[in-house]
Structures are given as C-alpha cells and as structure tokens.
Amino acid sequence: MSVDVPRRIVLLRHAKADWPQVADHERPLAERGRKDAPIAGRRIAEAGLTPELTLCSTALRTRETWKLVVHELPRRPKTVYEERLYDAPVGQLIEVINETPDDITDLMVLGHNPGMHGLADALAGEADEAAKERMDRGAFPTSAFAVVTFSGSWKSVELGCGRLTSFWAPHE
C-alpha cells in the first residue's frame, strides 16, 4: 500500500471512571461511564469511522471502555493493549503511533487525559474551527473523541502533521 494514502486517527478518551480505594491503573468505570461508552461507540460507527487497529491503554478503565465501544462498531478491529499509553506524554504517544504498520489506514487510540487532548492539539496543524472550539471548550471530557487526518506513513506522524476534522463529546 502506498504511504501517501489518506489516514485517520480516532483519539478516544476512556469513559468516566470510579474512584475506589485501588491503584489508579485499576480504577473501574463508574455507572455513567458504562452508559456513555456504548454511545461513543455508536457515534464512531455513525460517523463512518472504521478503525482497523485499536491501541488501548492497559488501565482497567480503558479496557472496560473498549469492551463497551467495540460492540457498537460494524466490525471488530485488531486490538493491541499497550502499556506505554497509560499516563503517557504526547511525545510517547506519537512514538507508539509511529510503530503502526503502513497497511493500516484507520487507527484508534484509546487513552487518558491530558494525553488525548494534548495529542489532538499537537497533531492538528490545521483544524475545522467548530471542532477545535468544541474540543477546547470542553477540555476533552471522558468518552469524547477527536478525529485527525493526515497523509503519509505512520512513521511520519509528528507535531502539526494533520488536520482536526471532528470532535464529539457525550454531554454537548
């Protein structure tokens, strides 16, 4: 496959988590998160976003979010649970994305804030103004997702390489 094909990255923040007395990595979804995650999955499907690969943080709340989102998608993408996505800074998130095989055109990254918001901002050299305004106003709440498009290989993903084309949050 040519590396100059248009590509999309769906950046999905995990659903609302609970705060029991457990390590942060082991926090489960709250009731609201269990309601919002399938809605996010339906919105991703309705938008025609069809990830072929999902990179998911190993934290319990991201894994639980993914199990609820994936049931709403038209087909199940390959899933890789990636511990480097947990509490990752933008540079590390880009390093993980750079490892994506070039036969993938649509990628989903399911992670945490401030990483998802920071990554969407960092990749978007250009932006649909309405999408950017919604994303920045809401500070990328739980179950929200942004879509960034770019052309080139995954190894070429870097600051400012893409365009923010859409943003959705469950409580807009």
In total, the chain counts a number of residues equal to 172
Domains of the chain: 6-168 (3.40.50.1240)
Note the pLDDT of residue 48.
96
Most distant CA pair in the chain: distance in Å? 49
User: Residue 86 pLDDT > 90, yes or no?
Assistant: yes
Q: The tokens of 124 are what?
A: 């978007």
Segment 132-142, tens digit of pLDDT: 999 999 889 99
Distance of alpha carbon 41 from alpha carbon 99, whole angstroms: 25
What mean pLDDT is predicted for residues 41-61? 97
Mean pLDDT of 157-163: 96
Cα-based distances in Å from 132 to 46, 67, 68, 95, 166: 20, 28, 26, 24, 8
The answer to whether 78 touches 66, Cβ cutoff 8 Å, is no
Residue 149's contacts (CB-CB under 8 Å, 6 or more residues apart) are 6, 7, 8, 9, 162, 163, 165
